[in-house]
Amino acid sequence: MKVVRTPGEVREQVSAARSRGTAIGLVPTMGYFHEGHLSLMRLARQESGFCVVSLFVNPTQFGPGEDLASYPRDFDRDLELAGREGVDLLFAPEAAAMYQPGASTYVEETSVSRGLCGQSRPGHFRGVATVVTKLFNIVAPDLAIFGRKDLQQLMLIRRMVRDLDLPVRIIAAPIVREPDGLALSSRNVYLSPAEREKAPRFHLSLLEGARDMTGAKGEVAQILKDTARRIEERTGGTIDFVSAVDEDMQEVSRPEDCRYLAGALFLGRARLIDNVRIGAAGELD
């Protein structure tokens, strides 16, 4: 595995791989790898012949008072884990290599990104869309892998690729969970032992709410209210949002139109996000 720090070095390595007729796969990350990240790398290896992983804690997607400075980092461990997975190229730039002094150009999507996390984290998805567009321009991948745990981000990237005619195939990877159901996240390290014990109840409560949606047991607003109450009572945390949305991340008013029940929870220092997918036949995932 080769480690590079600048866009020019990436282009040089990718150009050499492409000259051999190799498909290029990209896994964008902010590092502090866990099994969820590693599963994305394995999928990229399966779908392409040259796997590029970016490791960049992107400052433009953090708002005032958020955890940019304290976001967990362990570069040496990340290097070892990526190498074990057979990653070909690790792109780990400094912020100065990604954003020129006085940079004033951004990419902004205005529909998919409007509610849910977009409402509670203003500017977050503008930063995401901008850095992913830059990575697509630098790496020029044939495909890119994103996890469904970050559901709104996934749907935003799909919309951006569609709207801007970007020649990248977006592949969604399933949520990776602990045995007790907690979705893996780098920010889980913020949880105290007591909070970690309660955290899986977030997902279990979302599952119950999704079952209520499939059984049409009440109006959407009441189901959301009941789900939020159960989450707070069971975890001791504070709900940011619980939303019923369709494939375009638009809130729905009828249970039968709900395709995802998504939520965000403040639990101690951590902000946890999760979602349950509701299939056309009512199956839950």
Query: 33 labelled as ligand-binding?
Result: yes
In whole angstroms, how far apart are CA 104 and each of 6, 124, 212, 272?
20, 16, 46, 31
Residues 236 and 151 in one domain: no
Residues 28 and 82 in one domain: yes
Query: Residue 215's pLDDT is what?
Result: 82
Tens of pLDDT, residues 20-36: 999 999 999 999 999 99
The CATH number of the domain holding residue 238 is: 3.30.1300.10
Judge whether 124 counts as a catalytic residue. Answer: no
Query: Where does the pLDDT of residue 73 fall: very low under 50, low under 70, confident under 90, or very high at 90 and above?
Result: very high
Query: 159 labelled as ligand-binding?
Result: no
List residues bridging with 24 in a β-sheet: 50
Query: 77 labelled as ligand-binding?
Result: no
Query: Residue 204's pLDDT is what?
Result: 98
User: pTM value?
Assistant: 0.96
Percentage of residues in the chain having pLDDT higher than 70: 100
Query: Residue 217's pLDDT is what?
Result: 67
Closest CA to 203 of 117, 264, 282: 264
Residues 184 and 35: beta-carbon distance below 8 Å: yes
Tens of pLDDT, residues 131-190: 999 999 999 999 999 999 999 999 999 999 999 999 999 999 999 999 999 999 999 999
Residues 26 and 128 in one domain: yes
Query: 134 labelled as ligand-binding?
Result: no
Query: 124 labelled as ligand-binding?
Result: no
Average pLDDT on 228-232 reads 98
Residues 234 and 208 in one domain: yes
Residues 152 and 23 in one domain: yes
Residues 59 and 128 in one domain: yes
Query: 37 labelled as ligand-binding?
Result: yes
Helices within the chain (DSSP H only): 7-19, 35-47, 75-84, 95-98, 117-120, 124-139, 151-163, 193-198, 200-214, 220-235
Task: Answer with the residue of higher pLDDT: 217 or 250.
Answer: 250
Residues 167 and 200 in one domain: no
Residues 83 and 161 in one domain: yes
Residue 219 lies in a domain: yes
Label residue 10 exposed, middle or buried (CB < 10 Å: 0-12, 13-18, 19+).
buried
Query: Residue 216's pLDDT is what?
Result: 74
Residues 165 and 57 in one domain: yes
Percentage of residues in the chain having pLDDT higher than 90: 98
Residues 116 and 205 in one domain: no
Residues 118 and 220 in one domain: no
Residue 69 has pLDDT above 70, yes or no: yes
Query: 147 labelled as ligand-binding?
Result: yes
Domain total of the chain: 2
List residues bridging with 266 in a β-sheet: 238, 271
Pick the last residue of a domain from 173, 203, 227: 173
Query: Where does the pLDDT of residue 280 fall: very low under 50, low under 70, confident under 90, or very high at 90 and above?
Result: confident
**Phi/psi at 90 (5° precision):** -110, 120
Closest CA to 23 of 139, 134, 146: 139
Of 24, 27, 37, 183, the active-site residue reads: 37
Query: 176 labelled as ligand-binding?
Result: yes
Tens of pLDDT, residues 90-106: 999 999 999 999 999 99
Residue 210 lies in a domain: yes
Residues 150 and 202 in one domain: no
